[in-house]
Structure 1
């Protein structure tokens, strides 16, 4: 590919602005579609090539698209972009409905990639390596915690905003997803505000999310034969390793350095490399279907239990 890569960014709101920043860091010519005038002004101010109210105003010769609109608009937007024949990077979840996900897979699955940024987090990638290489023996248990007070979206509930992150973390570290055995949920009307899912049998996985927790917490903890390895904070520059001696906790605490490069930038770089050279990108639609099956089962069990 010669010249600058031309990307159409659809949506320049809270998260879309971060995506725009990183596309510009990657040296792309970015054309922005955003309904809000303030978003269009912002896009032009920081370096977008052009900004429009509708994506239909984009020039024809774009090399790829990034979609950062509300989750409930994902399905419609993907179908509208299908005739372009271009690669598409879309915010997670691809769509909040397994039937629609199957339709997208059949229509254009080979061209759609999902922005599961945690699969690009250096700490999560290191935990995957530790598991694959057996550095501390066998992985027996994995737990994640993603809790906070409120969440900034009004189109879908906390489950669809928070749980896809943790499912993608488990999937990336284990390279599989154990069966969902049980869930505990806090539901109001049709909205899940809190949910803990138990997957197993081994490695057993416990994933907890909430938007009614009084403080923000993000933890990932892996229990191996010889150590408990944790990512204590998303911005940490290391994994903490606490040694186990014959299965019992010891006083030995070490660390594994990790990059602090932001996962969003890492995944944007991977998508641009794909657009330019055809290089592989993580989070293919096949991966999304595996994760969607897990998410759908969690949600089914939550409402079955509630009922």
Structure 2
């Protein structure tokens, strides 16, 4: 598809929708996936289903060729990807130590990008990547996919509408067995999703972060706790583990009117529960009553599909992504402050 007349940013042609007499497929931005590993393959399949997959790229050329053949698209070497005029945007699903370098190359080439978490291994590298994208006028979106989960979207709506009252405490547990990475410990691999959700609820970064970790297999934490304090007095804790015998994916929000639990292990009809327990003082003693949970109806939908639909919309409209680079920098600051060395 040849570029259509559109917006010029810093001398670079930016994609906008084609005239309405063109087919829907032709109107889609042309997106490449850089990194054909486990999560990259999910991006590939989803973008193909959305009609927006233009190319795949991987340091392992045979792997890229296999995906290209399966999904009827081009296989492009990583170093050649950024100069392709038939690629409007890039999804980066690489080992995190490579994200900053390639994000800055994408910005220099005028490509919009969705960078998987974590977007870098240092705050400095993350800041350079985000600044490069802003200077180039390109979209920089972060792969905090649970922000697009229908249950979390509904939870956030309930909080914004005051259904829980003033939020006082948030705790998140993300536990399971594996995956084991050579660069990322349990904190850096698992916590970004939950930190993104916590920051979306609080609307600000914590003023105090304290971390605890335990390394059983090597010098990387297999268990990690983060304790956070926010300026308004709200407290939060996060627990991650990659050496747990059962899966737990639970975010709990405690307000002064009600409590809510987003449990992603539960079936769709039970993913979001609201508890309207009552606690009060009676003659100087605390008393309480418990109530059965109310399960809030949640629209069925795949978070990754919704995330990539949002990315496509941002490319087309130039709107600011829901998951910004600035938010990812805040997540990295928290991870850095909470990291425990086991060397």
Q: Flag whether TM exceeds 0.5 (same fold).
A: yes
| Match among 193, 202, 222 for residue 193 of structure 1 | 222
Taking structure 1 as the reference length, what is the TM-score of the superposition?
0.90
| Larger relative strand fraction | 1
Partner of 1:117: 145
Deviates more, 1:47-56 or 1:214-223: 47-56
> What's the offset of the Cα at 1:218?
0.9
> Structure 1's 31 and 55: CA in aligned 2 closer, same or farther, altered over 3 A?
farther
Partner of 1:275: 315
Q: Is the 8 A contact 2:56 2:67 kept in 1?
A: no
Which has more radius of gyration?
Answer: 2
Find the aligned partners of 1:219 and 1:203 in 2 and give their Cα distance: 19
Q: Which runs of 5+ in 2 are unaligned?
A: 1-16, 19-25, 281-287
Number of positions where the alignment pairs a residue of Structure 1 with one of Structure 2: 302
> What's the offset of the Cα at 1:167?
0.7
> Structure 1's 177 and 234: CA in aligned 2 closer, same or farther, altered over 3 A?
farther
Find the aligned partners of 1:148 and 1:39 in 2 and give their Cα distance: 30
Partner of 1:8: 32
Partner of 1:177: 205
> What's the offset of the Cα at 1:39?
4.3
Deviates more, 1:243-252 or 1:287-296: 243-252
Q: Which runs of 5+ in 1 are unaligned?
A: none
> RMSD in angstroms over aligned alpha carbons?
2.1
Alignment pair present for 1:168 and 2:196: yes
Find the aligned partners of 2:242 and 2:289 in 1 and give their Cα distance: 32
Taking structure 2 as the reference length, what is the TM-score of the superposition?
0.81
Find the aligned partners of 2:209 and 2:84 in 1 and give their Cα distance: 49
Alignment pair present for 1:95 and 2:95: no
| Match among 242, 247, 260 for residue 229 of structure 1 | 260
| Match among 294, 297, 300 for residue 337 of structure 2 | 297
Partner of 1:77: 102
> What's the offset of the Cα at 1:90?
0.8
> Structure 1's 48 and 30: CA in aligned 2 closer, same or farther, altered over 3 A?
farther
Question: 3-state DSSP class of the match of 1:5?
Answer: coil
| Match among 230, 243, 257 for residue 276 of structure 2 | 243
